[in-house]
Amino acid sequence: MSALEQNLADYLQLRRSLGHEMAEARWLLPGFVAYLDAHEASTVTIEAALDWAQQSPTGQPTTVGPRRMMAARGFARYLAGIYPGTEIPPLGLMPVRQRWRRPFIYSTADIEALMGQARILIRSPLRAATYETLIGLLAASGLRIGEAITLDRSDIDWSEGLLVIRESKFGKSRLVPLHSTAMQALNAYALLRDELEPRPEEPSFFVSQTHRRLCYAVVCQTFRQLVDAAGVGAGAPSAPRLHDLRHTFAVRTLLSWYRTGEDVQAKLPWLSTYLGHREPATTYWYLSAAPELLALAAARQNTRWTAVRS
């Protein structure tokens, strides 16, 4: 193992210990270290980072360049504390081009169709109930799919109607209150699960056919089958995704507040905390997710400006 390879291992371990997932860095940076070692470089230079980021196996322009540069910059900041000659690539050297994808906003009928399709398409009673309940929970709570999968039985406070989300994205934990109807659905599933799976191998709330925690890849594949079978989103510009249930929850919440005359600006930090965002600015993104929501926001702003001018 070269010195830079050891530095990379130490860097990734440090960042993970601070709560960062580092999935993309783990994928990209070994190639950067190999490039530096091949060029007998003892540390990062701006020239080396730029040359590596612009490389493409096919000889064609690569869209991964800005992501490579971002990963190299983070690694360089770490190395600067070890090797005085390290150069940290400046921001903006390779600007990231954000490609915005409009989320699919599910209607109530869409969600009911998906839950109903789970009962029809999946033969195993427990597996059918698992997916029906999982979809209902995601729609009713706006949880990330990873948060729902990692729920343990002890993470549900039945008396208070709360979910305990432990060390989710950004290493944050939070409490998520649920409506009584959602709690009733979870309780019905728990009773069936305990009847059909009395001795699970893991403490997870949702269980798979292997008696263990649900697997993300399998959940995504099954959800796609349910979407196709139910015909949800057929012909839509953006195909429905599992994560769009979270977008739908946020958009519906904001729409409800606008329609009932709530002070959305004042309540937005609450929604941000509920969803587990780092800051309310992230939650503002949902304003662009639905034309109706944009129209209501614009109308509210116009009303305020009219009141100020008069």
Q: Supply the residues annotated as catalytic.
A: 144, 169, 243, 246, 277, 286
Cβ distance 291 to 285 under 8 Å? no
Give the span between the Cα atoms of 96 and 91, in whole angstroms. 10
Q: 138: which 2 tokens?
A: 């995601």
Closest CA to 141 of 170, 177, 105: 177
- Name all contacts of 30-36 with Cβ < 8 Å and 24+ positions apart: 30/5, 32/68, 32/71, 32/72, 32/75, 33/2, 33/4, 33/5, 33/8, 36/4
138 contacts 148 by C-beta, under 8 angstroms? yes
> How many whole angstroms separate alpha carbon 104 and alpha carbon 269?
24
Give first-to-last CA distance, the chain, whole Å: 72
Contact 206, 214 (CB under 8 A): yes
Q: How many residues does the chain have?
A: 310
The Cα–Cα gap between 47 and 70 comes to 14
Q: What residues contact 64, with CB distance under 8 A and at least 6 apart?
A: 28
The residues with which 162 forms a beta bridge, in sequence order, are: 157, 177
| Token digits of residue 95 | 């600007």
Give all strands (DSSP E) within the chain, no chain letters. 156-157, 162-165, 174-177
